[in-house]
Structure 1
Amino acid sequence: MSLSDPVRPGHRPAPSLVVRSRPADDVSEALMDHLPDGTGLAWVRRGEGHVGWGAAAKLEVAGSNRFAEAQAWWKDLVAGAVVRDEVGVPGSGLVCFGSFGFTDADPSELVVPEVIVGRRGGTAWVTTISPASALPPPPELTRYEPEPVGQVAFADGSRSGTDWSGIVADAVRRITAGELDKVVLARDLIALAPEPIDLRWPLRQLAAAYPNCWTFSVDGLIGATPELLVRREKGLITSRVLAGTIRRTGDDAHDLALAASLARSSKDLEEHEFAVRSVADALEPHCKSMNVPETPFVLHLPNVMHLASDVAGVAANGASALGLAAALHPSAAVCGTPTDVARDLIGEIEGMSRGRFSGPVGWMDAAGDGEWCIALRCGQADPADPTRMRLFAGAGIVAGSDPEAELAETNAKLVPMRDALGD
């Protein structure tokens, strides 16, 4: 088995890797420019972050122990690595990218690239990662220009919009009957391109249009998510919770009025409260102290506005960023309340496999610091048909939800990926 071969649960070799991060002065302001093809890895926000390609090591897992399996594998790999980090900023040194399925049955993975190009706080670097027996020279950085996708057609995914609205109505009836408080229901849309989709094109479009979101790419799952599940950095833990959404009109005065109505909406405030409470409860055992805002603020994005709360805490134990993500997933923002009841209802009525949509996606370093977001505003490339992608969106359903309004909300959340695939 080579170091880049997938690793199955129960078999976690600890490859001996040599890692070197060096400062670089030829890194593009647009990190995506350096990706040599559409299979690369990416984590970029506001022009900072890192991209990578190749696979020095890779783990594929599934099942109820997938997070524990991944953490054990990463711990073994870190212990066997020789690291020379001449940069010393978050994201330099030994780093893995990862993406986890929404359910236990959905595939999950961690990937250690062969090359990482990063930029943070005015510092740019290149990291090379290889087996101890092969020490490649630093790569010459090249800038690439991806081809536009072309005219894309869209088709219903697992269900039509009308059918999905009926599912929402069913969920509202169950909530009103007292079976649960909230459930998050998702739908998919199929994008069909005339030629194979070069994922670098939509990635660049997303990073440019949504700079305040985290633009990501892991094994064909790409998107620009506004929701930070958890960040751990030098003992500080933070999480951004989004729940409660309204579509923007493009008229600034009207949008300000809509933002004010969102901040007063009892339906959206109720949905947001469930989400914040689930995050705070999950993080509390891992924090010495916590700050949980009493009221949310309105986060303005180009296509929608969200009720948002930033939860912060001081780490009380050695839980890694991935360990914290495991404790948080699935939060009420992507599943519902109570969690078990909502998860069962999703499996019963949603009618599709989410795959890695709404699961944790992000990165982690050798010290366990890193960032994990929720994979939202995203699409999954079809490995069997490179002209095809599944796009995803979801909405939180509570007692006051209106099915047609929730359908409109999912249409607004599909806009980033739909636009990114266009010229």
Structure 2
Amino acid sequence: MADAGSLVIKGGQVVDATGERTADVVVVDGRITAVGTGLSADRTLDATGCIVAPGLVDIHSHLREPGKEEAETVETGARGAALGGYTAILAMPNTTPAIDSAAVVQQVLELGRPAPCDVFSSGAITVGRGGEQLAPMAEMAALGVRIFTDDGAGVQDNGLMRRAMEYASGLGVTLAQHCEDDALCGGGHMHEGEWSARLGIPGQPAEAEELMVMRDIALARLTGCRIHFQHLSTAGSVAMVRAAIASGLPVTAEATPHHFTLTHAECQGYDPVFKVNPPLRTAADVDAVKGALADGTIGIIATDHAPHAPETKELPFDQAPPGMLGLETALALALTELDLPVQQVLAALSWNPAAAIGVGDLHGLPVEAGNPANLCVIDPEATWTVRGSAMASRSTNTPFEGRELRGKVRHTVLHGEPVVVAGEPQR
């Protein structure tokens, strides 16, 4: 007899870090209680023809709240995440005020409690993300913050970054860097190259990213601090990170879907929807990022979900803010554009980022009895067309408008309860 309140995800192909097998999955009281064939329960989620996987985890989401709720709120961002198969997301600190204190961390965590996915908070490395004074990382770490970043800006001062890394090493936390040398890229609005010259738009050279990657690898060697490189976008950056990992340094890296699918040629129509930071690069850079995902140099796919109110993205290219939506399209873009086994794609979207942000005890775990039931059910063959207006976000700035993608989330289960059923939000 089925347990009261039990749920079965039936008829799917389970894919997790341990491998693949055809199995039903029974969930009771927020945990997986059985994985096998011919199982039943009080409620059924149909997974016929689908993949049943650990829920996805995004290490890089801009939820805008507090301060820019016209673009996004924690609730709307989390709803989009659940629709995209995510059961956990990490909020970036470039809010207003910045997440640079225990008080703001607590505010974000409270806003996330009723959300349809788990919302974790990063913390700023410096006060106000101003790059001048270290933020009270110990106070934020005491609330569970494990990733610190000034994302949206790189820490420019070499000495300050060294002190931050020494401080972080003592706390056992990770620093994540937005690699961008302001002296080289200040005033640039796209990649510096053939298309910036044709369009007359000031550019940001690849070296602006690569110099900071080089510096932080050296500082990681000096301090022993774990460093995570956000949204790598150039072949040179990839090569340096590959060498750093091979030498045994505590280095990890992420790539975004737009950096493995789009090039700077997209900017030729002066449409600010293609403006992002770091900018879209060359086809050779895209190939390098894809290669790094294939060989594991880049072990994480992060969305860099960056909503902006429509009126700001309608400004001229040089005045519009950089950023693109990502939570509802990341999985499908990875399945459509990357020639990788589905298990490797899911590793980059689920258990690798879960480990990187210190939530691997709740998310990304194998689909086995006793583990928390944070799961997503994916139809790998479903095709759909991207429409910004149909997304859960308060913003619509997707660069993939009108593109047909393969792979769609059918169900998402958070702590044992369905929050997306048949592609529709349940709360």
Q: TM-score, normalised by structure 2?
A: 0.23
Q: TM-score, normalised by structure 1?
A: 0.23
